[in-house]
Chain A
Amino acid sequence: MTLAVRIRHSFGDFTLDVDFEAPPGLTVLFGRSGSGKTTVINAVAGLLRPDEGRIAVDGQTLLDSKGCVDLPPHRRGLGYVFQEARLFPHMSVRQNLRFSRWFRKGRRADFGQVVEMLGIGDLLDRRPGALSGGERQRVAIGRALLGDPGILLADEPLAALDEARKAEILPYFERLRDEAAVPILYVSHSAAEVARLATTVVALENGRIAGQGPAAEVLGDPMLTPLGARAVGAVLSARVVAHHDDGLSELDAGGVPLFVPRLAQATGQTLRLRIAAQEVVLSRARPEGLSALNIVPGTIERIRPGDGPGAIVSLATPAGRILSRITQRSARALGLAEGMPCHAIIKSVAIAPQDVGGRD
């Protein structure tokens, strides 16, 4: 199932003008607050009518301002996980989960299976007011899934949660993505979430699309800085090779060994790593006498000066594309140029635990 969205909408002096496709998998609408992400997702849900455009899921047209099609939200067959869970306070968890079944016939989603997957079996008879934030959000995900959605929409579903609760919810979205049960359109401004979840990224900036494509490409493209240079980072895929006694885990990224603080994942499992550009230092010669553990050789692909004194250098390495944020002065002093061999020095702390996500 593919979602095709083309909308134009103005309010005040802000104009939203986007055209993208969300293929199966998890598509993240990524951008700063005010970039128009929520407007897009609400237009898909039918909660907001854009000035003009067309929204379709495979063959079914949800909105076509030219053809005068505008299905009301209840006939769009979608699921929506909001930032706040929005559970119905006067109903039990069970009644919340079953809500859509009163209106949609011919269900495929299995109640017991969804309840088991989300681990909410013990909560069924409780009221939403008696649940923790993380529990509420899990119930909200279950409620959306049991509506048998053609597309699952999620608008910053983790933004209102603390780090521990985020870590509790993230794996469920990963599971949904990997089981490919439902295509997901996920709004986020968190680079860590994007790196961990996205199969496709649509980066929004001031109501326009700054870039779209597979996650590793968009996030690793130094030309795309929808979040500002600070948030730019590369996404690498690595396999857990060993857990060492000194509290470190050894990973293998395309033949390059990387060491990170001890991970919970078992040996042999594949992970996604996010390496923020500002945590990577460059050296022309293979550095010696340095305390950094992770040194990756590569070739300079591109140097992109930023607006300030900084520059983003992208490096092609056997492990994948790595980005480094250095000053333009250093780039000149080192005489960096495209095509030049170079070493990326990654402080192992740069691979933050919340940036390390499991993936099949």
Chain B
Amino acid sequence: MGWLEPQEWEAVALSLRVSFWATLVALPLGVFIAHALARWHFPGKQLLNGLVHLPLILPPVVTGYLLLLTFGTKGPVGSLLQDFGIVLAFRWTGAALAAAVMGFPLMVRAIRLSIEAVDPKLEQAASVLGASRTWVFLTVTLPLILPGIIAGSILGFAKAMGEFGATITFVSNIPGETRTVPTAIYAFLQVPGGESSAMRLVVVSVVVAMGALIMSEWLARRAAKRVSGT
């Protein structure tokens, strides 16, 4: 990447790493919660639904601050994790957590919609044929919601790439550790002569975002074709 300065390249690589892990870790939980919201009836369902959507509505700074209070080294969860040697505050892992939390509602919404589109009658047919609930999910539901899972993952990934407010509040803007592309652009714009660096990162952002979008469309169309049974 000759046309990117080392510190710009550092921000791009970090952003990709943070977004990749944020998406990967959030995905299983996202599928589980989307399935629970789409198919099960349980007390506190509305509360869970609200909680999942909270980061979408709250100002990102508030989400970041809440993360700091909870996962900071003095927070209830953060101090517990510290006993196991896991520190999130002001680390790239914390940036991944912030990105995952911010992208989670988008991911869950996309997957939930696709689960609701699966005809429960197919799941009934599978259970009569001998499949337990777990097997019904793995052999019928999961393959049928693949387009939704792909769409949800790409949305979550794109959101993670662009996440700024919660990240800078929770893990600050440390070069090489938590300086992702958006925070790097912000930092370059604060110093004289940083415009050209900022501009190059803007181009990278646009290219990554467009690429992700095109890839998700292509994958989703392919999966939908496979699933429609023709």
Contacts and interface: CB of A to CB of B under 8 A. Distances in A.
B contact residues, range? 20 to 34
The B interface is mostly helix, strand or loop, or mixed, namely helix
B135 to A, nearest CB: 7
Contacts of B226: 90
Contacts of A88: 122, 125-126, 140, 229
A80 interface: yes
Chain A's interface: helix, strand, loop or mixed, by majority?
A: loop
Given A82-B121, A89-B228, A89-B229, A102 B135 contact: yes
B230 A86 contact: no
Interface in B178-230: 226-230
B7 interface: no
Contact of A73 (B119, B124, B230): B124
A130 interface: yes
Interface string A208-250: 0000000000000000000000000000000000000000000
Interface string A115-130: 0000000000001111
Contacts of A103: 129-132, 135
Contacts of A46: 127-128
B127 A78 contact: no
A129 B228 contact: yes
Nearest to B127: A73
B176 interface: no
Contact of B128 (A74, A89, A102): A74
A102 B132 CA distance: 11
A47 interface: yes
Contacts of B130: 74, 77, 100, 102-104, 147
A123 B39 CA distance: 34
B5 to A, nearest CB: 47
Q: Chain A contact residues (Cβ within 8 angstroms of B): what range?
A: 20 to 34
Interface string A65-108: 00000001110111110101011111000000001101110000
B69 to A, nearest CB: 44
A127 B128 contact: no
A325 interface: no
Interface in B107-147: 119, 121-122, 124-133, 135-136, 139-140, 143-144
Given A73-B128, A103-B131, A130 B230 contact: yes
B226 to A, nearest CB: 6
A89 to B, nearest CB: 3
Nearest to B129: A100
Contact of B229 (A73, A76, A90, A147): A90
Give the 10 A-B CB pairs with smallest separation, nearest first: A89-B229, A129-B229, A103-B130, A129-B230, A86-B125, A100-B129, A73-B127, A80-B128, A127-B229, A128-B229
19 contacts: A46-B127, A72-B127, A72-B133, A73-B124, A73-B128, A74-B136, A80-B125, A86-B121, A90-B143, A99-B131, A99-B139, A100-B130, A102-B130, A102-B139, A103-B131, A103-B132, A103-B135, A127-B230, A144-B129
